[in-house]
Amino acid sequence: MEAVVTAQQPVIKVAALCGSLRKASFNRGLIRSAMQLVKDSVKGMEIEYVDIAPLPMLNTDLEVNGTYPPVVEAFRQKILQADCYLFASPEYNYSVSGPLKNAIDWASRPPNVWADKAAAIVSAGGGFGGGRAQYHLRQIGVYLDLHFINKPEFFLNAFQPPAKFDSDGNLIDEQSKEQLKAVLLALKAFTLRLQAFGLAKLQEDKFHDLQQHLRPPISRPWVANRSGSGSSSTLPPFLPTPVSIPRSATPLLQRQVPFLRKTAHDSSNARASRPWPLLQL
């Protein structure tokens, strides 16, 4: 039974971006370590490294009739199709690197393909371990409508003993690997929460639309028109027009249809039998 449950778990697709273009970059090493951790011990996640080196510098002259250069469009599609993001950025002048900011800007061009996704940040460097770059990236994420996990944070001083990386930029410190694993688990959990919330919100909106669609006509027996011919059965002008329900209504909503029809019928009968006062206009 456990194997069956595990097989049904959704796979979270993570797009990983590194702000450093250096081959032996420590931050690139963090992404490689994260990819290995996912394969070994963090089930239900897939990490794809998205190379930002081929992207041209942002120039809106390259946009022609709402289209982007092929390399930019391919990058934007990978960002759009991902469930969440993992950023690894060095700290340059208290901020993120130029290549990473350039990639962020390309993907934020209309329509913004970052929006409403979960994200995590890791960094390695001297001193604060890239912490100030992380805080600046969080500020950028506010406009992008990105949702960063708050805990745990991962700042790694790459030059403090014991050695954290080998000569090729691979992470070799076991304690740091455990901390990186905790970040990945938090990103996975937060992504699933956001997806569940989005699904619940979609079903709530469809349920509301369905209620509007099944609402019976509202009569106004308490209003006497000037001709004295009785009540009007037209909808008041201030009430919204009932919304049509698409055929793609979820099974949950379809199961609610008989209940809603009965509720609407009972409500209509209750209004018809209610003794309304007659208002003279």
- How far is it, in rounded angstroms, from Cα 30 to Cα 156? 10
Cβ neighbourhood burial of 130 (10 Å; 0-12, 13-18, 19+): buried
What mean pLDDT do residues 234-244 have? 46
CATH topology of domain 9-198: Rossmann fold (3.40.50)
Structure tokens at 236: 């008041």
- How far is it, in rounded angstroms, from Cα 89 to Cα 26? 9
pLDDT band at 197 (very low <50, low <70, confident <90, very high): confident
- How far is it, in rounded angstroms, from Cα 65 to Cα 205? 34
pLDDT of the residue at 54: 97
Domain ranges of the chain: 9-198, 215-280
pLDDT of the residue at 161: 92
pLDDT of the residue at 114: 97
- How far is it, in rounded angstroms, from Cα 52 to Cα 88? 12
* pLDDT higher than 80, residue 241: no
pLDDT band at 252 (very low <50, low <70, confident <90, very high): very low
* pLDDT higher than 60, residue 39: yes
* pLDDT higher than 70, residue 265: no
Q: Give tens-digit pLDDT for 118-153.
A: 999 999 999 889 999 999 999 999 999 999 999 999
Q: Which is more confident, 14 or 195?
A: 14
Q: Which is more confident, 269 or 171?
A: 171
Structure tokens at 197: 């919330």
Helix 131-144 / helix 98-108 crossing angle, nearest 10 deg: 10
Model-level pTM greater than 0.75?
no
CA 227 to chain centroid: 57
Q: Which is more confident, 7 or 112?
A: 112
Q: Quick check: 101 and 58 in contact, CB under 8 A? A: no
**What's the mean pLDDT when you consider all of the chain?**
81
- How far is it, in rounded angstroms, from Cα 100 to Cα 22? 13
Residue 182, sorted as left (phi over 0), alpha (psi -120 to 50) or beta, turns out to be alpha
Q: Which is more confident, 213 or 44?
A: 44
* pLDDT higher than 60, residue 110: yes
pLDDT of the residue at 137: 97
pLDDT of the residue at 266: 53
- 61: CB partners within 8 A, 6+ apart: none
* pLDDT higher than 60, residue 218: no
Q: Give tens-digit pLDDT for 56-102.
A: 999 999 999 989 999 999 999 999 999 999 999 999 999 999 999 99
pLDDT band at 267 (very low <50, low <70, confident <90, very high): very low
* pLDDT higher than 50, residue 253: no
pLDDT band at 235 (very low <50, low <70, confident <90, very high): very low
What mean pLDDT do residues 219-229 have? 49
Backbone angles phi, psi at 139, to 5 degrees: -65, -40
- How far is it, in rounded angstroms, from Cα 33 to Cα 30? 5
